Amino acid sequence: MMANLAPFIMTALGALGFDITSSGNILTWALLASAVSGLGTARLASGKQRRPLAYIGLTVATIAFVAAAVFPSPGVVVGGLIIGGAGVGAAISTSGAAIAALRNPNRVSAASGLTNRILVTIVLAVIPLLGITQGSVFGTLALISLVALAFAAWLPDSPEHAEPVDVTATLRIAEPRRITIAGFALLLIFPIWGASEDAIWTMAPVLGDAVGLGDQQLGFTLSLAAASGIIGMFLVALFGDRMGRAVPLAIALVLGGTLKICIGFTADPTVLAVLIICVNTIYAFAFALFIATSAGLDARGRWSGPLLGAYLVGSSFAPLLGGALTEAFGIRIFTLGAGLVSFLIIVPTVLIARVSVGAEKALARSSTSTSA
């Protein structure tokens, strides 16, 4: 939610007297706090401390965001945003790890994403109606953290047996060493891809200005783009594991990369709006499959736990990278670079997805033989 509310957070910080550069730096530090916290707590999230970790993280986030929403002091706001980000990061690692404990990772990750997309769509539509202020933006983050705290008790336990070493040792595609390599590779690729996607999102106001897309039209476009993500998530939820992961991910990366490049070469505001909406639809579809891929590698959440934290590392640098590339080379080179990222990761992503599916099938076979 912090990443999705980036344009509103920047506006709220601007109203407190921070310039664009300072606001971007503050948001970057808040997202980095989430990323570091998520990565640092990933091991705990995949074990028996999953629920206590979620309780602590969400409690800290709620208190910190309330302080940022209520107190007018810029120092308190900045501190609350960064501390709240750290608290959210701990909760993110628990939810990411918990996804792996449930059957059919494709469907579960998509269901999680659907909830996220619906919530983001509502929030992006409601906050402008209330007014983009310190209270509305940071108060929303506090409320969401509080609601999440109420649901934390429902997190599933970590399974005792998750990585089927005894079975995968006989399968070349999903042997233990390949699973480990695939996991680390995914932790590297996912944030790089995420940075290219979020850079387009955070630079939307600049892209809109270049073609004459007004603020109201841009806000409507962003809300529709968030809503369109529901379609991508719904497709993954509908088909579940039947669609596989390798081929759908490859198709999504090709389409997404092509559309990101096209964004920089249009001068029509309507076409730009449509492209942004389409990019976000494909992004949501691919995002769900990336999460499912990490969950399939290990049911304890060894890889899905830190994955969202790793994503936030890339996401936190998206505003800085997007702004720097646009300023130095122009919009076309920026979108060209963002699009090429999708093409460059196709081959490793497909290989990782194949290992994930193989590991999941091996675990299912192992569990069946054990119960028998």
* pLDDT, tens digit (0-9, with 9 covering 90-100), for 227-253: 788 888 888 877 767 778 899 999 999
The pLDDT value recorded for residue 159 is 65
Q: What are phi and psi of 215, to 5 degrees?
A: -60, -45
Q: How confident is the model at residue 367 (pLDDT cuts 50, 70, 90)?
A: low
CA angle, 70 as apex, 67 and 76 as ends, to 5°? 45
Q: How confident is the model at residue 216 (pLDDT cuts 50, 70, 90)?
A: confident
Q: Which of 272-281, 292-301, 323-332 is predicted least confidently?
A: 292-301
Q: What is the pLDDT of residues 145-166, one digit of tens each?
A: 999 999 988 887 766 555 544 4
Residue showing tokens 């290989």: 351
State the average pLDDT over residues 186-206: 89
The pLDDT value recorded for residue 173 is 54
Q: Is the pLDDT of residue 309 over 60?
A: yes
Domain 6-371, what fold? Answer: Growth Hormone; Chain: A; (1.20.1250)
The pLDDT value recorded for residue 190 is 94
Contact status, residue 301 vs residue 46, Cβ threshold 8 Å: yes
Q: Please report which residue ranges of the chain form alpha helices under DSSP H.
A: 6-15, 20-40, 42-45, 50-70, 74-99, 105-130, 134-151, 165-168, 176-202, 204-211, 215-239, 246-263, 269-297, 304-329, 331-344, 346-371
State the average pLDDT over residues 41-69: 90
Q: What is the pLDDT of residues 259-281, one digit of tens each?
A: 999 999 998 999 999 999 999 99
Q: Is the pLDDT of residue 322 over 90?
A: no
Q: Is the pLDDT of residue 7 over 80?
A: no
Q: Which residue type sits at 308?
A: L
Q: What percent of the chain has pLDDT over 70?
A: 92
Q: What value does the mean pLDDT of the chain take?
A: 84
> Any idea where the domains of the chain sit in the sequence?
6-371
The pLDDT value recorded for residue 164 is 47
The pLDDT value recorded for residue 186 is 94
Q: Pick from 198, 199, 218: which is nearest to 324 by CA?
A: 199
Q: How confident is the model at residue 68 (pLDDT cuts 50, 70, 90)?
A: very high
Contact status, residue 367 vs residue 167, Cβ threshold 8 Å: no
Q: What percent of the chain has pLDDT over 90?
A: 34
Contact status, residue 92 vs residue 39, Cβ threshold 8 Å: no
Q: What are the structure tokens assigned to 355, written together?
A: 């290992």
Contact status, residue 148 vs residue 2, Cβ threshold 8 Å: no
State the average pLDDT over residues 346-358: 92
Most confident of 104-118, 194-208, 294-308: 194-208
Q: What are the structure tokens assigned to 164, written together?
A: 């089927």
